[in-house]
Amino acid sequence: MNILSIIIFLPIITAVLLFFVRIPIRLIKIVYMMVTSMIALLTLKLYISFEHHASIQFEEMHRWISEYGINYHIGVDGVSLGIVVMNAILMPLVAIALYKQRDKRGYWINLLFVQGGIMGVALSLDLMLFYLFWEIMLLPIFLMIGLFGYGNKNFITMKFNIYTIFGSLMMLISILYIAVQYKLQFGVYTFDLDKLQNLVLDSTQSILVFSGFMIAFAIKIPIFPFHTWLIDTYRSAPTGAVVVMSALMAKLGAYAIWRVLFTLLDKTSHELASYFITIGLFGLIYFGISAMNQTHLKNLFALSSASHLSLIVVGFFIYDVYGLIGSSYLIVAHAISSAALFMMAAMLYERTKTYDISSLGGIAAVAPRFSIFFTLFALSIVGVPMTAGFVAEVLIVLGAFHYNIYIGFMTATTLLIAMLFMFKMISQVLYGKASKATENFEDLRMHELMALIPLALLVLAMGIFPNYFIQKIEPTALSYTVEKEVSYHE
Amino acid sequence: MSNALIALAVPGLLLFSALFILLFGFSAYYSKNRGYYITLITLFITFCISVNGVGDIHSAELLPQLFNAMVIYDTFSATFISLFLLGGFLSLAIAKSFIDQTNFFTHESFVLFLFSLFGMVVLTMANELLTAFIALEIASMAVYVLVGLNKESLRASEAFFKYLLLGSFSASFYLLGMMLIYAQAKSTHLNVIAAYIFNHDLNSQLLIIAGGMLIIITIMFKIAALPFGAWVLDVYEGASLPITAYMATVFKIAVFAFTIRVFLKNNDLIQLVFDPLVVIGAIITMIGGSLLAVIQNSVKKMLAASSVVHSGYLLIALASIEDADSSASSAIIFYLFAYFISAIGAFGVLSYISKGTDKHISFDDLNGLGKNTPIIAVSLTIFMLSLAGFPSTIGFIGKFYIFTSAIESGYTMLALLGAITAFISIYYYFKVIVHLYFKESAYVKVEYGYRVSLGFIIISAFIVLWGGVGTSLIFNIPGINELNELSKHAIRSLAF
């Protein structure tokens, strides 16, 4: 069996088995740790043996539904590698950080399930398989918010679910439509991304198909104006689910633009690129400004996440090799820091029982370790030099300047805006006078440190030695820009 | 076993068992359990026999001298017969707990059950309008009585009366349509009518067109497609749960079997004249059914209303049939299987947890089931996901086939509407899941007993999952491919 299949199915099968076995919660946590660590090790092996010079590797293909040409076809390239590695690293760390907080079986079983689902989406090279995993990874999140969420959770999880599935169904129709068109042109059905590239669609068709896909991805990311589920959901969701959603699932939306739209509808994506750059830039500024006015910590992180995801979209659509590399770098960099920040927010809540920014303050004085880590991850989000965020954002801004000087200026404002809301938040939360809630703030415990140190090291490593990481992405990015002769702004 | 023998043995055995129970029902040796097991074993044996006719492509008129070529046995009918014998078996097996805990399942009910299956078996083999009518009425009559089985329940009696009245009324349309067709084509034999339509100018066939329209009305009534499906909510609500499951799945399959045969035989005419009708029917059915389903408070009524929506999906595929080779017709068979296994499971869970009582199961009654009885809750969740068309369940593959065939035939907008309806259905199916897991309730350990019923519910749930992801590459168990191949064979035998 291929290593990728193990990465996808080991967590899913374990989750199903754990559901049927009645064992104490302590054992479930141990099994969870064992499985996720094993996945992490396998992924590490995958990362090291990933060749620098090739695009898609470790391919595996089996026939599944032969009449419709649906195959079990998986493989990894430079961009999906980032998501896979992030997924593998974050899952055990989430468990380490939260291991005292959650004593429900469903929590860990769902997390395992969602890990498999996300791996599946990132690695699928067949559209039906992609769709299958795309939907499957939604279910555990739906259950987690409903079971362990806060506030009006039933309504919120239903809203999130319905919102997302609407997008998915539009994508389904698009998938079926291109498959049927392929059959009309070539005589057989196929859902394989490689083969579907040969398809020729006229401009109306391709715009319709494009929008079908784009609705699904835009809702998942989310980009303006499909963001209305975002704040509620992030606020209501338990920490594990938020980490998964902001650090991984949202990134998958951006990744899917690359994987599906840039592969299949290259020309249309070019034609429509300027619209999405505009929407992305608007979202970047709009979400950033909204973030400044938030008093709820999770809302602020949600909006800051949305703002950076818009930046990723901009980076993709400017179709410049710097932009592509920058965006895929930001996918990873932002995943680390946003996951860490959401975890730290949960630790903060555990100690102070509040997310309200105005009732916090003075933590730096009582809990220096907490403050250092908190600041580091916040700075990485802002994009301060030496952190991972800086490299990514500079690359995107560079690409944007290549594209158009005004777009470049607009994109550069992201640094400014992020700085405004993050520094404001930091000054209110960490500095100032200690409030009633933060008087007896306990500094990071051992297991929390164990969860955060690897992430912090990664942020620094990615900020200081970007070359090692970029060389894995570069061939893939080049294959999208050079081979297809899309760099039209020499 | 030769095919003719199978074709005779299956209805013969059904009739024999029915008469046997009828004869000995009043004797001292009869008990409800014995009647139940005789029925169950009959269904199992007939299923095992009829499965032998599935697989290879064959088609032959059954005893042409005796039946005057009115009955035909081909892979198509073999597939359908196996399908609803399995359906009858499963719905009865799951209903074990319900039947035991109620007192209105007398020996007549098993007789009626077998009679209705006999009617359906003949219906799928009928190659002539009159035979089909008689078979349809045999099945319907039995089902009418089954609906009103619980004489003490006012709602059941109301449902029975309503269904009987409307059903007979709609059957008269069929008679009239058949008469009109006979007046012009001078035959009620499907092959002769098809030949007549093929050889004559379309403009001269007004009577056939009018007759066909009337027959379509009856079909729409029987499969509960709107605007002729107004009876469905009250009748499904009034009937006891196993009967509702039986009507919503098995009976619908039988009607569709006949419909596909008629449609494929007279394809040209139907494409030209009746397709718009079916399309409009599909649109109204999907939208109306969704609206009905969204507003329901009782789970049973919601499932009833959503079965209307599923008829709408099937109508999409019916409209997309272009010729015997098109994927639409095999998509219908696959979807029928997908729907029947999921719906039987869903209704089965309801009948299992209702413990034989007549009360409404509202959404709130499901609260806490996820905590108290996880296995039942998971099974119900799987059935709901399948009905909603969530990937990795058989319901998704069914929808996938139907939408693909619709797009292939140029009905992209219809497929889009289908997707939107599926989107609405997420709301009411996921509502069940929300109530199962997320609503607070006290921990009450309820002992349901009846491991047989539970076992078959779990088996159905596994079939639903396996039908969604299964492949013969793993464990060498027949998966999606093989199911698909079966339905292809069935359709090909029609043109054989």
Q: Is residue A348 part of a domain?
A: yes
**What pLDDT score was predicted for residue B386?**
92
**What pLDDT score was predicted for residue B157?**
87
Q: ipTM for the complex?
A: 0.89
CB-based contact A65 B481, cutoff 8 Å = yes
Pick left, alpha or beta for residue A50 (phi over 0 → left; psi -120 to 50 → alpha; otherwise beta).
beta
Chain A residues closer than 8 Å to B378 by CB: 19
Q: Is the pLDDT of residue A490 over 60?
A: no
CB-based contact B404 A67, cutoff 8 Å = no
Q: Is the pLDDT of residue A488 over 60?
A: no
CB-based contact B423 A169, cutoff 8 Å = yes
Alpha helices in A257-296 (DSSP H): 262-264, 266-292
Angstroms from B472 CA to nearest CA on chain A: 9
**What pLDDT score was predicted for residue A487?**
42
**What pLDDT score was predicted for residue B250?**
87
CB-based contact B408 A183, cutoff 8 Å = yes
Q: Give me the residue spans of the domains in chain B.
A: 3-494
**What pLDDT score was predicted for residue A63?**
81
Q: Is A143 on the interface with B (CB under 8 A)?
A: yes
Q: Is A180 on the interface with B (CB under 8 A)?
A: yes
**What pLDDT score was predicted for residue B382?**
92
Q: Is A63 on the interface with B (CB under 8 A)?
A: yes
Q: How far apart are CA A402 and CA A104, in angstroms?
A: 51
Confidence of residue A486 (pLDDT cuts 50, 70, 90): very low
Comparing A16 with B489, which gets the higher pLDDT? A16
Which of B408, B419, B427 faces A162 most closely, judged by CB atoms? B427
DSSP-assigned beta bridge partners for residue A70: A65
Which of B438, B473, B481 faces A153 most closely, judged by CB atoms? B438
Chain B residues closer than 8 Å to A147 by CB: 437-438
Confidence of residue A481 (pLDDT cuts 50, 70, 90): low
Angstroms from B247 CA to nearest CA on chain A: 30
Q: Is A176 on the interface with B (CB under 8 A)?
A: yes
Residue partners of A375: CB distance under 8 A and separation at least 6: A426, A430
CB-based contact B392 A165, cutoff 8 Å = no
Residue partners of B164: CB distance under 8 A and separation at least 6: B144
Q: How far apart are CA B316 and CA B310, in angstroms?
A: 10
Q: Is residue A349 part of a domain?
A: yes
pLDDT in tens, chain B (496 residues): 577 777 777 788 888 888 888 888 787 787 778 888 888 888 898 888 888 877 777 777 777 777 777 888 888 888 888 888 888 898 888 888 888 888 888 888 888 888 899 999 888 888 888 888 999 999 998 988 888 888 888 888 888 888 899 888 888 999 999 899 888 888 888 888 888 888 887 778 888 888 888 888 888 888 888 888 778 888 888 888 888 888 888 888 888 888 888 887 776 667 777 888 888 888 999 999 899 888 888 888 888 888 889 988 988 888 888 766 677 888 888 888 889 889 989 988 888 888 777 777 788 877 877 777 888 888 999 999 999 888 888 889 889 888 988 888 888 888 889 989 988 998 899 988 888 888 877 667 777 777 788 888 888 898 888 888 877 666 667 777 777 778 777 777 777 6
- Determine whether B94 is exposed, middle or buried from the number of CB atoms within 10 Å of its CB (0-12, 13-18, 19+): buried
pTM of the shown model: 0.91
Interface of B with A (CB under 8 A): 378, 385, 390-392, 397, 400, 403-404, 407-408, 412, 415-416, 419-420, 422-423, 426-427, 430-431, 433-434, 437-439, 469, 471, 473, 480-481, 484-485, 488
Question: Looking at residues A267-273, what average pLDDT do you find?
Answer: 84
Q: How far apart are CA A280 and CA B29, in angstroms?
A: 79
DSSP-assigned beta bridge partners for residue A73: A61
8 Å CB contact between B439 and B364: yes
Q: Is the pLDDT of residue A161 over 60?
A: yes
Chain A residues closer than 8 Å to B491 by CB: none
Lowest mean pLDDT among A39-48, A153-162, B439-448: B439-448
8 Å CB contact between A213 and A174: yes
Chain B residues closer than 8 Å to A165 by CB: 423, 426
CB-based contact B431 A179, cutoff 8 Å = no
Interface test with A, best of B363, B371, B407 (most A CBs within 10 A): B407
Q: Is residue A45 part of a domain?
A: no
Q: Is A23 on the interface with B (CB under 8 A)?
A: no
**Mapping DSSP to helix (H, G, I), strand (E, B) and coil, where does residue A123 land?**
helix
CA dihedral A372, A376, A377, A381 (to 10 degrees): 150
**What pLDDT score was predicted for residue B176?**
92
Q: Encode pLDDT of A352-397 as tens digits.
A: 888 888 888 778 888 888 888 888 998 888 888 888 888 888 888 8
- The residue assigned the tokens 């965006």 is A327
Which of A64, A67, A165 faces B423 most closely, judged by CB atoms? A165
CB-based contact A66 B416, cutoff 8 Å = no
Chain A residues closer than 8 Å to B408 by CB: 180, 183
8 Å CB contact between B396 and B334: no
For A9, the enclosing helix (H) or strand (E) is helix A3-20
Q: How far apart are CA B477 and CA A418, in angstroms?
A: 55
Residue partners of A381: CB distance under 8 A and separation at least 6: A304, A308, A334, A337, A338, A341, A389, A418, A422
**What pLDDT score was predicted for residue A429?**
84
Q: Is A172 on the interface with B (CB under 8 A)?
A: yes
Which of B391, B415, B473 faces A135 most closely, judged by CB atoms? B391
Q: Is residue A441 part of a domain?
A: yes
CB-based contact B481 A66, cutoff 8 Å = yes
CB-based contact B430 A161, cutoff 8 Å = yes
Interface test with A, best of B364, B404, B432, B488 (most A CBs within 10 A): B404
Counting one residue from chain A and one from chain B, the pairs whose CB atoms sit within 8 A come to 85
Average pLDDT over chain A, rounded to an integer: 85
Q: How far apart are CA A104 and CA A240, in angstroms?
A: 12
CB-based contact A180 B404, cutoff 8 Å = yes
Chain A's closest residue to B389, CA to CA, is: A169
CB-based contact A147 B437, cutoff 8 Å = yes
Which of A65, A131, A166 faces B480 most closely, judged by CB atoms? A65
8 Å CB contact between A93 and A457: no
- Determine whether B199 is exposed, middle or buried from the number of CB atoms within 10 Å of its CB (0-12, 13-18, 19+): exposed
Q: Is A403 on the interface with B (CB under 8 A)?
A: no
Q: How far apart are CA B304 and CA B322, in angstroms?
A: 30
CB atoms within 10 A of CB A405: 10
Number of domains chain A is built from: 1
DSSP-assigned beta bridge partners for residue B128: B189
* Angle at CA of residue A137, ends A95 and A205, nearest 5°: 150
Residue partners of B356: CB distance under 8 A and separation at least 6: B97, B98, B100, B101, B102
Angstroms from A174 CA to nearest CA on chain B: 9
Q: Phi and psi of B71, rounded to 5°?
A: -120, 135
**What pLDDT score was predicted for residue A316?**
86
Strands B59-61 and A57-65: unpaired
Range of the domain at A302: 265-490
Nearest one of A244, A74, A219, A89 to A160, comparing CA atoms:
A219
Q: How far apart are CA A436 and CA B224, in angstroms?
A: 65
